[in-house]
Chains A and B, each alone.
Chain A
Amino acid sequence: MGIKSVMNTDRLFWLGRYSERVYTTLKLFSLSFDSLIEQSVDDHRAFCESLEIPDIYRDKDDFIDRYAFGLDDPNSIISNLYRAYDNAIELREEIGSETLSFIQMAIYEMKSAKRSEAPLLHFQKITDAILAFWGCADDQIDDENTRNIIKIGKRDRTDIQRDIRRLSWRICRTDLIYSQEGLRRLEELAEAPELDYDEIIRTVDALVEC
């Protein structure tokens, strides 16, 4: 469509960022939720620390309820999903009704999850909807600039942290010869107050001996 307004550019960026945040936190939360099912010990604090969010939760049950579904908690998954929706709903003519529909479906599924005794089932469907949203964005948005702005927003700290954790987990299960020191350095970089993207890329490039 060519020329893009300031507001829509901003919305595209935040749509990418919030959708990524929902996807990432949903995955992490689902893992925590699973481990909290049987645990008598309340260790939701570790989760808060790992995401650098304030621990405002009374206990495990309060954490499960409010971190997932607390509309008043700006860090909650539902808040992030609604922020993604707020941006998406004003971008119909940019991203198309089909792409937008996946965010809309994620909202409905989140409402179902809130009422359900088995929210993980619904979380899986939300994850599916977010993945479909990205796939649809790639497939159906003709304007390269629009796609790129969404993807720039899609990269955030938790995304990088998750990728580095995944890299650590995978690389030691391969035959690749890699630098232990480099891996430790990557984990430090991921936790640094300011992400140094260039340094992260250089460290990843030098990780494997060719």
Chain B
Amino acid sequence: MVNLDKLLKSTEDINGLLARYGVKFGIYKNGSFKEQLFPFDPIPRIIGKEEFSYLERGLKQRVTALNLFLKDVYGKKQIISDGVVPADFVYAASGYLAPCEGIVPPKEVFSHVSGIDLVLGKDGVWYILEDNLRVPSGASYPTIVRGLERRCSPRTFHDTPIEDNRNYPQLLRHVMDYVNTGGMNVVLTPGRYNAAYFEHSYLAEQMGMPLVTCNDLEVEGDTLYFTGYAGRKERVGAVYRRISDEYMDPMTFNPESLIGIPHIFDVYRKGNVALLNSPGNGIADDKGIYYFVPKMIEYYLHETPILHNAPTYLPFYEEDRSYVLEHFDTLVIKDVAPWSSRTWRRPAATASCSAISSARRRRSDSAP
């Protein structure tokens, strides 16, 4: 059993340290920006080692399939021609970006950071709630908190074997080094008034790389450069960008973007810089495409999906449509537009969900 007494008693100390280190998130309220401290919940969600290994296998399998889907859908499109995913669901989705056609990112990695939302059902089964493959956020908070927890309650960690999660920045740096096309790594932020600015600055600090805005980067020829104060320029080989696709490059996407870098997409297309995550990933985390992810796993990997989608019905298919019409009052109805939060009915059994990146890795002798 985890010794939680000390940890629970340390809540105030931990919150004090979170304030000291400025662990905040920004919110816009009534037209003005406000920063709020991140509240710390001392009660952990305990995931036993065996259960965690199961989740890890399932998540790796899912992300591998999603990555293959992205390569296919912007390439040969075999999954469409083989009738596994209907073309309508691909081309009508706002996450599909035509400019990404034919582009294969460095080392063929599309989704470098994947935020897969998991929920534990009342039946004791873990379900995938949604996939986030564009600009997933939140990994810094459990990373910094773990260090503070250990400082305030060493006994908890002495008495209980708990998996360490503080290597996240090093893992991310390793991924950046792996896909780097030659040059320095940078973290690109929209700026201080972004809700997740703490995370951007903290990860840059922990990875030992500059936190930059659009003003610090420029494209010259086919190369992206970081410009220093003395006019010195240094080539950039990988950008961990915390800016949405549509704002990345005003010359390719939204022309009104003031936070993007003109022509960065051209450099990316030519393979001269790695962008993490790759533009165009939105097609794979679309709510309509979600339905097809188990089929993708079977199609690309020839494996049975380890983790389950939440039971989902797509009225596009006759059989599903009949079921939906019969059980309309008991189902959660969601718009399939990406990022849409339109939900017309809340689930009868509400369960909290969290990204696996923020799920606490627990090793416990007791079975889940």
Contacts and interface: CB of A to CB of B under 8 A. Distances in A.
A124 interface: no
Given A4-B229, A5-B227, A6-B229, A89 B210 contact: no
Contacts of B21: 97, 100-101, 104
Contacts of B187: 93
Interface in B211-233: 211-213, 215-216, 226-229, 232
A1 B209 contact: yes
B210 A90 contact: no
Nearest to B204: A93
Contacts of A118: none
Contacts of B327: none
B192 interface: yes
Given A1-B209, A7-B213, A92-B211, A97 B202 contact: yes
Which of A10, A89, A92 has most B Cβ within 10 Å? Answer: A92
Contacts, number: 68
A114 to B, nearest CB: 17
Contacts of A101: 20-22
Interface string A103-115: 0110010000000
Contacts of B215: 5-7
Contacts of A1: 208-210
Nearest to B203: A93
Contacts of B20: 101, 104-105
A5 B216 contact: yes
Sort chain A's interface into a size bin. Answer: 20 to 34
B201 interface: yes
Interface in B190-214: 192, 201-202, 204-205, 208-213
Interface in A132-156: none
B234 A97 contact: no
Q: Decide if the interface of chain A is mainly helix, strand, loop or mixed.
A: helix
A1 B228 CA distance: 12
Contacts of B209: 1, 93
A2 B226 CA distance: 12
Contacts of A97: 21-22, 202, 205
B332 interface: no
Contacts of B22: 89, 97, 100-101, 104
A32 interface: no
Interface in B1-30: 19-22
Interface of B: 19-22, 184, 187, 192, 201-202, 204-205, 208-213, 215-216, 226-229, 232, 234
3 closest A-B pairs by CB: A92-B201, A93-B204, A9-B229
Interface of A: 1-10, 89-90, 92-93, 96-97, 100-101, 104-105, 108
19 contacts: A1-B208, A3-B228, A4-B210, A4-B228, A5-B226, A5-B228, A6-B215, A89-B192, A90-B211, A92-B202, A92-B211, A93-B205, A93-B209, A97-B21, A101-B20, A101-B22, A104-B20, A104-B21, A105-B20
